[in-house]
Structure 1
Amino acid sequence: MEAMAAAKPVIKVAALCGSLREGSYNRGLLRYAMELTKEEIDGIQIDYIDISPLPMLNTDLEVNGKYPPVVEAFRQRILAADSILFASPEYNYSVTGPLKNAIDWASRSPNVFANKAAAIVSVAGSLGGARAQYHYRQIGVYLDLHFINKPEFFLNAYESPAKFDSDGNLIDPASKKRMKNVLLALQAFTLQLRGKC
């Protein structure tokens, strides 16, 4: 009797959105990613983390080496993840304030991003958020956060035909395929970093 094939390890992905807007297209990308992991891709669990409750970084809030409860809960969810999926628009050619704030809280000692795999996708105008993505990648170097190099995902939301419906859900078939490829690459890279492939 042939040995049964080993089950693929399940990786936990923390998903963070750089926009706080309810109808954010970037949040729509994360919703679609979660759909993919339930319907088409085995071995990935996505934990969407709402960053809106986090206070602005202020080290005065760190008392006796402890963080505010909402910050500590956020940090624990990042720590429990195997990898990170960022979805972010571009503000003034760069990163968004809310996501940078979340990153800064997570990077406080001990840095809970350290040695994790990561991917970033973005929806914006013009270049689709490319300039912001490269700034996030630079930040990742200091955080010891390892971004996948390819595939890259930049999406200009305002080109025709429409990429999202009126509720902010991704409807463009080509973009859906690209999102799937990003997740598969993140999964493979995460397993490689963990020595599980």
Structure 2
Amino acid sequence: MEAVVAAKPVITVAALCGSLRKGSFNRGLLRSAIQICNESINGIKIEYIEIAPLPMLNTDLEINGTFPPVVEAFRQKIREVDSVLFASPEYNYSDSSQVLVTVLMDMVTTDNFEEEEIVALNKGLTLHGICFIAFLFLAIVLAPLKNAIDWASRPPNVWADKAAAIVSAGGGFGGGRSQYHLRQIGVYIDLHFINKPEFFLNAFQAPSKFDSDGNLIDMATKERLKEVLLSLQAFTLRLQSKC
């Protein structure tokens, strides 16, 4: 009698992008991840979930324990999947960063910081002050993604005990600094991130990584992305004790 081999369970993944731009490189990473799974990874299915329609978090919108329909639909999507794939762009160095720095400088008049940190910030160009400001505004998860995370974390928290992975693309460090802030958020909402491999992509280094429409075209990068997906799949199975 032939042995019956149990079919490998299909892992479902919600793909979320912190950028709302149509041509975003980070959206391109998620499109490529979906294609890779469809073509070369058995047992994993990714669905892209749009977060743009979500209203800004406002608990006044919660009425008798219910959420606005668009929020409830999003929460249900997250509730149903096994794991989550985030594409997290880093806060850019645009004029809006000046607003953030101004806010941070205003905050030194409050009791939010230790005395030595307040002194360092008020001196302006001290090394301590510069590093403290840089840490705060470079490690920021963009508002659309943080808003989605917050809505889904409202009781009952639908992120809890799910596996997750992060990919990012951009200039410089490739969006890597925002990933560590996202990992910190995950600790509180019981979201479990894979540790390796990490995926940071400098989208502007030769050879070209994306085409004019933001689609990933670099084969070496696709292989790196595939390794992330395989790791997420394996970690999800271990977390769920299905393997």
Report the equivalent of 2:159. 113
2:228 to 182, 185, 190: 182
Report the equivalent of 1:80. 80
Distance 1:166 1:65 in 2: 45
Say if 2:12 is the partner of 1:12: yes
Question: Quick one: which amino acid aligns to residue 191 of structure 1?
Answer: L
3-state DSSP of counterpart to 2:12: strand
Report the equivalent of 1:57. 57
Distance 1:6 1:61 in 2: 45
Distance 1:89 1:143 in 2: 20
Per-residue CA shift, 1:5-58, capped at 9, x if unaligned?
A: 221110110110010000011000000111011110000111110000000000
2:170 to 111, 124, 133: 124
Computing the radius of gyration from Cα coordinates, the structure with the larger value is 2
Q: CA deviation at 1:4?
A: 3.6
Report the equivalent of 1:23. 23
Q: Which has the higher helix share?
A: 2
Report the equivalent of 2:242. 196
Distance 1:64 1:156 in 2: 46
Q: Which has the higher strand share?
A: 1
Q: CA deviation at 1:74?
A: 0.1
Distance 2:223 2:37 in 1: 13
Distance 1:83 1:64 in 2: 29
Moved over 4 A (4+): none
More deviation, 157-166/111-120: 157-166
Distance 1:17 1:64 in 2: 30
Where do 5+ consecutive residues of structure 2 fail to align? 92-136
Per-residue CA shift, 1:70-127, capped at 9, x if unaligned?
A: 0000000000010000001101522111000000000000000000000000001100
Distance 1:8 1:152 in 2: 26
CA-atom RMSD in angstroms: 0.8
Distance 1:106 1:79 in 2: 9
TM alignment of 1:145-160, pairs within 5 A? 145-160=191-206
Scaled by the length of structure 1, the TM-score of the pair is 0.98
Report the count of equivalent residues: 197
3-state DSSP of counterpart to 2:85: strand
Distance 1:159 1:47 in 2: 29
Scaled by the length of structure 2, the TM-score of the pair is 0.80
